[in-house]
Amino acid sequence: MNRTKKWALIVGGLIVVLVAALILIPRFIDVKKYKPQIEAEVSKATGRTVTLGDDLRLSLFPWAGVSFSDLHLGSLPGFEEKDFVVVKSFDVRVKLFPLLFKDIQVKRFILNGARVILETRKDGRVNWEFKAKPEAGVSQKTPVAVKKPSGDATETGLVLKGLSVGEFAVTDGSVVWLDHGKKTRKEISDISLRLQDVSMDRPVRLTFSARIDKQPFSIRGSLGPFGKALGKGTLPLDLTVGILGQMDVGLKGNVVDPAVRPKFDIDVEVSPFSPRKLLEAMGKAYSVATSDPKVLGLMALKAGIKGDADRVSLSKGVVDLDGSKLNISMEAGNFSNPSVTFTCDLDQIDLDRYLPPPSPEKKVAKQPETAVAPVKKRTDYSSLRKLSLDGAVKIGNLKIKNAKIENVDLKVMGKHGVFDLKPMTLALYQGDLTGQGRLSVQKDVPETTVQLALNSVQAGPLFTDVLKKDFLEGNLKANVDLTMTGDDAKQVKKTLNGTGNLVFKDGAIKGIDLAGMANNVKAAFGLAEKAGETPRTDFSKLEVPFTVTQGLVNTANTTLISPLIRLTASGTADLVSENLDFTVDPKFVGTLKGQEDTQERSGLLVPVLVTGTFSSPKFRPDLERILKQKIEKSLPDLQKQLLPGDGQKAAPQDIGKQIKGLIKGLGN
């Protein structure tokens, strides 16, 4: 017998002995006898109690396998839940010899009834921490440096010669989150995962389903092929994610080097769904009330998303919502201090439909003077201070607060907590608005500046739509420059400062006849018979210059030029208390030449006091000034009566008649 044959027989004999051992050992060794030792060793390693059911089996050839049932891995002492992990049954079969050559051949992998309970105590301790005991002689506080071997799997991926799985199933699983501090419970139940056609050279079909707080969630589709280097290279995917039975999200594209430095290039498409029904399925905490209950009824979107750990971009984004279409693109990077650029182009939207419905006014009980007002929690703007922003927004038709706006075009830029809207242009009511603004959140309280210029805006339709009142019409031109501080309406009103000038041309003030009010006390303030038609005051120009100081609007020289009358007005409007305090001074024009009227106008001019509130203004005559006017007008006649030309004093009865006539004239 030559040497080669001798070694062949020796190797063959060893293989036969090894195979025989692998076949016979499990048959003659009762693994169940070692169950207590297995439980003790696992308990020692994990620091938790471990118990196994009696159905414990071991096989070594031709498939190395282990199966067991009724596994209980206990929770840590001091937690309410007894178990951390429970498994009803587990069965795995793997070929041993191919593993020596990095060829993984799995006949079966079945996990049934796995239940994981994650618990947080009121003091913040959690039951999923596994703290390894420090090695003898090694300080627990001293980190042990571990040299990373060259060619680590995280750099090269796990290189396999082959991979095949016959049956892979995870069924009837569940995960429970318990937070006793927040008194919350969340559960993912009915977890099921099945893989088919598992290999390296063809796509793996995947089916996953679960219920999140009793609401369905699913993933179906394919992944791969994975290639021989798992986690490295290009991984194709084609998946559909079902969310709560209301929305399907399609994901199709590639993930590159998922285990090394992942990059992705994926097309996302969300099929039409109802956001309102989706929110309702998520529970009461996510319900939404809108003025129009039909909005949020239909939405769809699609976009291409590309990026890596440092940068993400969104291109060709299209969002359809209730008949509105938004085209969007965006790029974001440097996520610790985000830098975002974007463009948005919206064809049309009625935002009033999405605003909350008006709530009925509730009478608020007056608090005692000693009551301490609740302290408002300060808003944290630190994230905005880190943000760099560069974007552009266009809107074709916009409706907000019932105002109809067209051709909105604005750019927003900002960094270090300062954001500029510049420029901003839009068209409204046959005119246009241009402006710019700045928001600074560098301090704890936001600071805002606004400059606006309106040109040729039709004031009548604008005020009718926005204020729901038809009281003023005309061609409006305005310039406004304001500053304010705060992030709520009350604080903004208190800190509002600035200047402005409003000019209305060729218009009218409706519901009030200033000429009549100025000429006749009875007609002006409701004591005379009402005419059939609605009173109005036509004007060729109404100019309102104003200043604002800490929420107090002041105008010292408001002027109105009318065919019959000239008016000047001065006073204040308090934006905080919403109180009015104005005086209107009239002056008549002698005739209406050029207006087909040559009648002389004369009589007592009635100064008007405007008080009350924004919602309920009050008009009354300035009696003190009326009396002064009447006395000044009648003084020459009274002097003639008291001192006649012949040097004789007037008779007492004549003086009495003059005084009575003066008093009687106050009512005309």
SS (H, E, C) 342-387: EEEEEEEEEHHHCCCCCCCCCCCCCCCCCCCCCCCCCCCCHHHHHC
- Judged against a pLDDT cut of 60, whether residue 367 lies above it is answered with no
- Judged against a pLDDT cut of 70, whether residue 629 lies above it is answered with no
Rounded Cα distance, 517 and 525, in Å: 7
Name residue 327's amino acid.
Answer: N
Rounded Cα distance, 434 and 479, in Å: 10
Rounded average pLDDT over 512-530: 56
Rounded average pLDDT over 421-429: 94
- Whether 506 and 606 map to the same domain: the answer is yes
Rounded Cα distance, 436 and 192, in Å: 56
- Whether 68 and 203 map to the same domain: the answer is yes
Please, where are the H alpha helices in 387-488?
459-467
Half-sphere exposure of 185 (CA within 13 A, CB side): 5
Of 166, 200, 230, the residue that ends a domain is: 230
Cβ proximity of 539 and 547 under 8 Å: no
Rounded Cα distance, 549 and 498, in Å: 7
Name residue 506's amino acid.
Answer: D
Environment class of 655 (CB within 10 Å of its CB; exposed 0-12, middle 13-18, buried 19+): middle
- Whether 634 and 606 map to the same domain: the answer is no
Rounded Cα distance, 465 and 469, in Å: 8
Environment class of 451 (CB within 10 Å of its CB; exposed 0-12, middle 13-18, buried 19+): middle
Task: Judge whether 561 lies within some domain.
Answer: yes
- Whether 42 and 95 map to the same domain: the answer is yes
Question: Residue 599: its pLDDT value, please?
Answer: 44
Number of domains in the chain: 3
Strand duo 115-120 + 617-621: pairing: unpaired
Report the helix count and the strand count for the chain, using DSSP H and E: 11, 33
Beta bridge partners of residue 608, listed in sequence order:
584, 621
- Whether 518 and 552 map to the same domain: the answer is yes
Strand duo 339-350 + 388-400: pairing: parallel
Rounded Cα distance, 341 and 412, in Å: 10
Task: Judge whether 299 lies within some domain.
Answer: no
Rounded Cα distance, 195 and 203, in Å: 10
Rounded Cα distance, 332 and 388, in Å: 10
Which among 97, 72, 67 has a CA at the least distance from the CA of 85?
Answer: 72
Give the residue carrying structure tokens 């419970």: 185
Rounded Cα distance, 514 and 610, in Å: 12
Q: Given pLDDT bands bounded at 50, 70 and 90, which one contains residue 598?
A: very low
Q: Which two tokens stand for residue 203?
A: 């796509």
Cβ proximity of 107 and 166 under 8 Å: yes
Question: Residue 635: its pLDDT value, please?
Answer: 54
- Whether 91 and 164 map to the same domain: the answer is yes
Question: Residue 107: its pLDDT value, please?
Answer: 86
- Whether 114 and 197 map to the same domain: the answer is yes
- Judged against a pLDDT cut of 70, whether residue 141 lies above it is answered with no
Which among 317, 321, 322, 323 has a CA at the least distance from the CA of 345?
Answer: 317
Task: Judge whether 219 lies within some domain.
Answer: yes
Question: Residue 106: its pLDDT value, please?
Answer: 85
- Whether 548 and 643 map to the same domain: the answer is no
Which among 238, 161, 237, 163 has a CA at the least distance from the CA of 199?
Answer: 163
Task: Judge whether 311 lies within some domain.
Answer: no
Task: Judge whether 291 lies within some domain.
Answer: no
Q: Which residues contact 593 (CB under 8 A, 6 or more apart)?
A: none
Cβ proximity of 460 and 473 under 8 Å: yes
Rounded Cα distance, 403 and 466, in Å: 6
- Judged against a pLDDT cut of 80, whether residue 307 lies above it is answered with yes
Three-state DSSP class for residue 422: strand
Q: Which two tokens stand for residue 466?
A: 């926005």
Question: Residue 576: its pLDDT value, please?
Answer: 92
Three-state DSSP class for residue 6: helix
Cβ proximity of 537 and 512 under 8 Å: yes
- Whether 36 and 177 map to the same domain: the answer is yes
Cα 17 versus chain centre, distance: 71
Rounded average pLDDT over 133-145: 48
Task: Judge whether 400 lies within some domain.
Answer: no
Strand duo 83-95 + 324-333: pairing: unpaired
Of 589, 605, 621, the residue that ends a domain is: 621
- Whether 653 and 540 map to the same domain: the answer is no
DSSP code for 531: P
- Whether 160 and 220 map to the same domain: the answer is yes
Rounded average pLDDT over 338-343: 96
Name residue 420's amino acid.
Answer: D
- Give the range among 45-54, 120-129, 362-371, 452-461 with minimum mean pLDDT: 362-371
Task: Judge whether 8 lies within some domain.
Answer: no
Q: Which residues contact 303 (CB under 8 A, 6 or more apart)?
A: 267, 268, 314, 315, 316, 317, 318, 328
Question: Residue 120: its pLDDT value, please?
Answer: 94
Question: Residue 16: its pLDDT value, please?
Answer: 45
Rounded Cα distance, 424 and 395, in Å: 12
- Whether 522 and 657 map to the same domain: the answer is no
Highest mean pLDDT among 117-126, 140-149, 635-644: 117-126
Q: Given pLDDT bands bounded at 50, 70 and 90, which one contains residue 626?
A: low
Which among 608, 596, 606 has a CA at the least distance from the CA of 569?
Answer: 608
Cβ proximity of 250 and 268 under 8 Å: yes
Q: Given pLDDT bands bounded at 50, 70 and 90, which one contains residue 597?
A: very low
Name residue 131's amino acid.
Answer: K
- Judged against a pLDDT cut of 70, whether residue 361 lies above it is answered with no
Dump pLDDT digits (tens) for 32-41: 777 888 888 8
Distances (CA, A) of 203 to 157, 219, 552, 589: 18, 15, 71, 92
In the predicted model, what is the mean pLDDT of the chain? 81
Rounded Cα distance, 296 and 160, in Å: 50
Q: Given pLDDT bands bounded at 50, 70 and 90, which one contains residue 21?
A: very low
Question: Residue 226: its pLDDT value, please?
Answer: 85
Beta bridge partners of residue 573, listed in sequence order:
553, 580
Of 230, 259, 274, the residue that ends a domain is: 230
Rounded Cα distance, 172 and 51, in Å: 20
Question: Residue 22: its pLDDT value, please?
Answer: 46
**Greatest Cα-to-Cα distance within the chain, rounded to the nearest angstrom:** 174
Q: Percentage helix, strand, coil, to 5, in the chain?
A: 20, 50, 35
Dump pLDDT digits (tens) for 564-591: 778 889 999 999 999 999 998 887 665 4
Rounded Cα distance, 467 and 614, in Å: 11
Q: Given pLDDT bands bounded at 50, 70 and 90, which one contains residue 30?
A: low
As a whole number of Å, the end-to-end CA separation of the chain is: 148
Question: Residue 471: its pLDDT value, please?
Answer: 84
- 45 or 519, higher pLDDT: 45
Give the residue carrying structure tokens 């710019």: 436
- Judged against a pLDDT cut of 70, whether residue 157 lies above it is answered with no
Domain extent at residue 554: 496-621
Sign of CA dihedral 379, 380, 381, 384: negative
Rounded average pLDDT over 282-293: 81
Question: Residue 646: its pLDDT value, please?
Answer: 53
Cβ contacts of 291-296, under 8 Å, gap ≥ 24: 291/352, 291/353, 291/354, 291/355, 291/356, 291/357, 291/358, 292/352, 292/353, 292/354, 294/322, 294/353, 295/322, 295/353, 295/354, 296/321, 296/322, 296/354
Cα 115 versus chain centre, distance: 36
- Give the range among 202-216, 268-282, 626-640 with minimum mean pLDDT: 626-640
* Full 3-state SS string of 534-594: CCEEEEEEEEEEEEEECCEEEEEEEEEECCCEEEEEEEEEECCCCEEEEEEEEEECCCECC
Strand duo 83-95 + 103-112: pairing: antiparallel
Task: Judge whether 191 lies within some domain.
Answer: yes
Q: Given pLDDT bands bounded at 50, 70 and 90, which one contains residue 156?
A: low
Question: Residue 134: its pLDDT value, please?
Answer: 46
Question: Residue 19: its pLDDT value, please?
Answer: 47
Environment class of 74 (CB within 10 Å of its CB; exposed 0-12, middle 13-18, buried 19+): buried
Cβ proximity of 385 and 441 under 8 Å: yes
Environment class of 66 (CB within 10 Å of its CB; exposed 0-12, middle 13-18, buried 19+): middle
